[in-house]
Structure 1
């Protein structure tokens, strides 16, 4: 029983443009235009389950792409605790030891939210639940969910999370079943 999952990373949001920890800010005007421009480039089978992370930018990206996505809490981005909504530069200035530790140790969550390892485990559980039903899945998700899914698919240690770059509006494919996924690296969707 094979499941094919296409993860589409969300378009640019105000938070991503401002290098700020996501706090539910909407897409930028340019991000929404890019999603709309990419709408015709996706081939989504009629029987595919279409999902989106519960963030506004994922919902808006799905809408811009012309997808009728069902919110999927299991595919939510990393819980950033008290860093939510704060600019990275500000956090680095006020907690100079915390950011380097967070970026180097997947076990820690100095922000009081979710660690990288916890995000990877949650994402792996979500993929396992998707694999319980064969078929196609298209999910518009946060870039950190794509990173976590790649780490899980490769069986890589959580330290590899920060080694995966995920651009806005890219599609990353996974095919397989619980505990065994094949990876098709992300490619840009829409006009070049």
Structure 2
């Protein structure tokens, strides 16, 4: 059986706009409006999931989805950096940020490394392989990790993948071999 996994990134939130590590901020009204306008544009799925963050849960609700929060789809755990902007962390500890961005095994923030996130998402994808359709509203870094795994890319490519707000990434495959479909947008990206 061919599996299809649709990964939708959250609508714009204040933390996304400020390039802040998730601080629990809700989605902005413009992002909610775009998500509501896109309701019904996503394909039906046997499983509808969301990252546990507020912005992903609110995006799922605005899209009209009855989604179950899945802890395994949580965004990258950035430990003590949570809620701070990349600029703030970079000014306070530029070597730690450089190490984190350059070494997928580094976790100077005390949280999860990029390699660990990629491994966690690879295990999740293995669990949904050959099970039909799954739709999940997930953090941008979860989309990156899924694409890295699906295309068997080196983990160092993680930071080279951009995931705009409120866009869909589709993976399809069977028996652990995934294909990537580019270009689907349930709504115009937030600006």
Q: Which residue in the other structure is 2:146 paired with? A: 149
- List aligned pairs for 1:31-110, cutoff 5 A: 31-45=31-45, 48-110=46-108
Structure 1-normalised TM-score? Answer: 0.93
- Distance change >3 Å, CA 186–CA 166, structure 1 → 2: farther
Cα shift readout 1:13-67 (whole Å, capped 9, x = no counterpart) = 111012111122111111111111111322325xx21111111111100000001
Unmatched runs of 5 consecutive residues or more in structure 2: none
Q: Distance in 1 between matches of 2:125 and 2:42?
A: 21
* 1:90 alignment partner, SS class: helix
Q: Which residue in the other structure is 1:183 paired with? A: 180
Cα shift readout 1:91-142 (whole Å, capped 9, x = no counterpart) = 00100111111111101011110011000000001111112x5211100000
Q: Structure 1 residue runs of 4+, over 3 Å off?
A: none
How much has 1:189 moved relative to structure 2? 1.4
Q: Distance in 1 between matches of 2:163 and 2:4?
A: 19
Say whether 1:138 aligns with 2:135. yes
* 2:49 alignment partner, SS class: strand
- Distance change >3 Å, CA 186–CA 58, structure 1 → 2: farther
How much has 1:149 moved relative to structure 2? 0.3
After the TM superposition, which of the residue ranges 162-171 and 177-186 deviates more from structure 2? 177-186
Q: Which residue in the other structure is 2:157 paired with? A: 160
CA RMSD between the two structures:
1.4
Q: Distance in 2 between matches of 1:20 and 1:121?
A: 24
Cα shift readout 1:73-98 (whole Å, capped 9, x = no counterpart) = 11110001000001111100100111
How much has 1:174 moved relative to structure 2? 0.7
By percentage of residues, which structure has more strand? 1
How much has 1:188 moved relative to structure 2? 1.9
Q: Which residue in the other structure is 1:17 paired with? A: 17
Q: Distance in 1 between matches of 2:144 and 2:73?
A: 12
Q: Distance in 1 between matches of 2:175 and 2:14?
A: 35
Structure 2-normalised TM-score? Answer: 0.94
- Distance change >3 Å, CA 78–CA 111, structure 1 → 2: same
